[in-house]
Amino acid sequence: MKAAVIRGFEEKFGELGDGRVYFAPGRVNLIGEHTDYNGGHVFPCALTLGTYGAMRRRDDRILRFYSVNASGKGVIETSLDELQPDDRFGWTNYPKGVVYTFIKEGYPVETGFDMAVYGNLPNGSGLSSSASLEVLTGFALRDLYGFEMSNQMLAIYGQDAENNYCGMNCGIMDQFAVAMGKKDHAIFLHTSDLEYEYVPLKLDHAKIVISNTNKKHKLTDSKYNERRCECEQALEELQKVVNIEHLCDLTPERFEVYKDAIKDPVRQKRAKHAVYENARCVEAVKVLKEGNVRRFGELMNEAHLSISRDYEVTGIELDTLQEEALKIPGVIGSRMTGGGFGGCTVSIVEDSALDEFREKVGAAYKKKIGYDADFYIVEVGGGPEKL
């Protein structure tokens, strides 16, 4: 991968010279979905799959971008004086957005750079290829321009770029998981104060399997922002009757007491998901620490039902993958992961059932949906690094 990105860089931009190569992971969220913008808990982990970037500073104000994966599109050139987002140049809005945020926050990016990237995360699969690219860019800028900031700030600036430059109102989970990843650990993050804890992922005789629906989707034009608005409206209604700052400040029991303050039944379902999902996430981490992987799996299954029925961000593709997974006896738990509307499921599958999983879930998916799903046995990796 490192060689491929250097080759791509040198083909387009000449010798890498004093440039550098970096890596930032993707992430998968194990449980705690659509809770991060509701002040709740999440439990993601970084993957060993991610984005490689070769980057070299320039002396002028030009920015040149090249994606080895999307090689047909060639080099995209712009300048620090033309930093506005441009839909025609898709993925380059993520690194440009990070440059924009850095400048806004007082980190002077006064000269441009050449950047080639190569990713092995399936694109648009909900494994955070965009957060990976944002954190990669921030990490590389920090190193090449000598800025001082923590990895946590890289996550915050990545989210800022995504929210204010790319127009996707995401929470902090993805950028945090990418910037703060730790090998063989998941991150139990409380999103309202960014308190976090690394929890070892001991899944004896089982693996994390990601199943990609291969349904094309883009969260910026999906209903993600609409769901976020529904939660904000529900919160405003609840705040008239109970003193809370975020939806996830409520326990399920207190939610049941106050829920009728939310007048619209659809909004009430959205809020219910957020509150119950937060409680599930807290319980899931507790049982995992106790070594109870079975209960962790049951909570994953419950989480999928909640997000499918109450939050309604799954669709037939994700639901089929999850339902078919649960028919295999060696599956400990399975649920959609990420924003939804396509993307992937995450399943915990016993080693002895891995082949059967791929065969049976794959065949049933193809029969029902009409095209193939892809399956990846993934490993939990660390955060961004200089290679």
| Binding annotation for Mg(2+) | 130, 162
Known catalytic residues are 174
Minimum CB–partner distance for residue 227 and ligand GAF (Å):
9
Judged by beta carbon, residue 34 or residue 304, the one nearer ligand GAF is: 34
Among the listed residues 23, 26, 31, 34, the single contact to ligand GAF using CB under 6 A: 34
Minimum CB–partner distance for residue 274 and ligand GAF (Å):
10
User: Which residues are annotated as part of the binding site?
Assistant: 33-36, 67, 124-130, 162, 224
User: Which residues are annotated as part of the binding site for substrate?
Assistant: 33-36, 224
Judged by beta carbon, residue 19 or residue 126, the one nearer ligand GAF is: 126
Residues 146-175 binding ligand GAF (CB under 6 A) are: 170-171, 173-174
Minimum CB–partner distance for residue 335 and ligand GAF (Å):
11
Residues 315-344 binding ligand GAF (CB under 6 A) are: 338-339
Residues 256-295 binding ligand GAF (CB under 6 A) are: none
Tell me if 33 contacts ligand GAF by CB under 6 A. yes
Minimum CB–partner distance for residue 15 and ligand GAF (Å):
37
Minimum CB–partner distance for residue 223 and ligand GAF (Å):
12
Judged by beta carbon, residue 8 or residue 26, the one nearer ligand GAF is: 26
Q: How far from 374 is each of 31, 290, 366, 377, CA to CA, in Å?
A: 21, 32, 11, 10
Size of the site for ligand GAF (CB under 6 A): 11
Tell me if 237 contacts ligand GAF by CB under 6 A. no
- Give the footprint of ligand GAF on this chain (CB under 6 A): 29, 33-34, 36-37, 170-171, 173-174, 338-339
